[in-house]
A and B are shown apart, each in its own frame.
Chain A
Amino acid sequence: MRSLLAIARYTFLQQFRNRLYLVVVLFGLLMMGATLLFGALAGDQEVRVILDLGLVTAELFGLATAVFGAVTLVLEEMESKTIYLILTRPLPRPVYVVGRFAGLFIAVAVSIILMEILHFGLLYFKGWTPDPAVWMALPMMGLKVMVMTALTLLCSLTFTSVPTATVFSILLWVLGHFGNEIRFMGEKAGGAAVTLAAVFCAILPDMTLLNARDMLDYPGFNGSVLGHGFLYAGLYTLACLALSSALFSRKEF
Chain B
Amino acid sequence: MSKPFHFWGGLMVAGVLWGTAVWVSSEAARPGMPPYTKSAMPTFAVQDAAMVLNGARRFGADLAFIQLMQYYGSPEHSDPQVSYPLRKKTHRYSRSDHHKDREDSQSHNEEGHESGHLHLGSEGTADATDQPSAGFPLLGDFALRAGTLDPRFHFAYLFASGALAFNLNRGDDAVQVLEHGIRGDPTYWRYRMYLGAISYRKNQETEKVVATLEEAMKDPDCPSMIKNILAHIHIKKGNLKRAAEIYVDLLESRDPSYSTHAENQLVKLGVIRK
Contact = CB atoms under 8 A, between A and B. Distances in A.
Interface in A221-253: 221, 224-225, 228-229, 231-232, 235-236, 238-240, 242-243, 245-247, 249-250
A45 B225 CA distance: 12
Interface in A54-94: 55-56, 60, 93-94
Interface in A113-145: 144
A41 B66 contact: yes
A249 B6 contact: yes
Contacts of A45: 62, 65, 155, 254
Interface string A34-53: 00001001111111110011
A52 B59 contact: yes
A53 B18 contact: no
Interface string B40-70: 0000000000001111111100100110011
B255 interface: yes
Contacts of B34: 180
B112 interface: no
A31 to B, nearest CB: 13
Contacts of B255: 43-44
Interface residues of B, number: 53
B62 A181 contact: no
Contact of A232 (B8, B21, B29, B155): B21
B224 interface: yes
Nearest to B21: A235
Contact of B53 (A49, A174, A228, A242): A174
Contacts of B30: 180, 208-209, 220
Nearest to A144: B55
A218 B254 CA distance: 25
B62 A53 contact: yes
B11 A246 contact: yes
Contacts of A24: none
B217 to A, nearest CB: 13
Contact of A214 (B13, B25, B32): B32
A49 to B, nearest CB: 5
Contact of A216 (B7, B10, B58, B66): B58
B228 to A, nearest CB: 11
B69 A41 contact: yes
Given A49-B66, A214-B32, A239 B18 contact: yes
Contact of B10 (A176, A225, A242): A242
Given A43-B255, A246-B11, A236 B18 contact: yes
B10 A246 contact: yes
B82 interface: no
A208 B54 CA distance: 10
B65 A42 contact: yes
A215 B32 contact: yes
A220 B31 contact: yes
A48 B70 CA distance: 17
A38 B66 contact: yes
A125 to B, nearest CB: 13
Contact of A46 (B17, B33, B254, B257): B254
Contacts of B56: 52, 56, 213-214
Contacts of A190: none
Contact of A245 (B6, B24, B29, B52): B6
20 contacts: A44-B224, A45-B155, A53-B62, A55-B59, A60-B54, A176-B55, A180-B32, A181-B52, A206-B25, A211-B55, A213-B56, A214-B33, A215-B33, A228-B24, A228-B25, A229-B28, A232-B28, A239-B18, A239-B21, A243-B10
Give the 10 A-B CB pairs with smallest separation, nearest first.
A246-B10, A220-B31, A228-B28, A249-B6, A43-B255, A235-B21, A239-B17, A184-B35, A242-B14, A177-B55
Given A209-B28, A239-B13, 18 more contacts: A44-B253, A45-B155, A48-B62, A49-B65, A56-B54, A60-B54, A94-B10, A184-B37, A208-B32, A209-B30, A216-B58, A219-B31, A228-B24, A235-B21, A242-B13, A242-B17, A245-B10, A246-B14
Interface of A: 38, 41-49, 52-53, 55-56, 60, 93-94, 144, 173-174, 176-178, 180-181, 183-184, 202, 206-209, 211, 213-221, 224-225, 228-229, 231-232, 235-236, 238-240, 242-243, 245-247, 249-250
